[in-house]
Amino acid sequence: MWQVEVIYLDGSAKKYDISAASKAAFESNFQCGFVKRIAEEQRESDLYWVAHFLAKAKGETPLDFDKWLETIEDVNFDANAKNGLTVTESFTK
């Protein structure tokens, strides 16, 4: 399963599994396929959006997206567990 890891400004970190619900919400919001957009466009803001969606879904932030962005340092993407592909391989296949 793919994951995102949120690195907060206070130095803490939290990992979230990218769920079917988060992919469906992404596709509904952006009107495009999740995998295609992540692989082809590689926008960091897409990862931020998914991470925020997951944090809200878990009840771990009450903040709207723009305010939440002010609390994070970065979001890392880990696709190593998806179909046995590495991140690099998933972006090139």
- Residues 27-39 have pLDDT tens digits of 999 999 998 888 8
The span from the CA of 33 to the CA of 56, in Å, is 22
The span from the first CA to the last CA of the chain, in angstroms, equals 17
- Residues 14-69 have pLDDT tens digits of 999 999 999 999 999 999 999 888 888 888 999 999 999 999 999 999 999 999 99
pLDDT, greater one: 86 or 13:
13
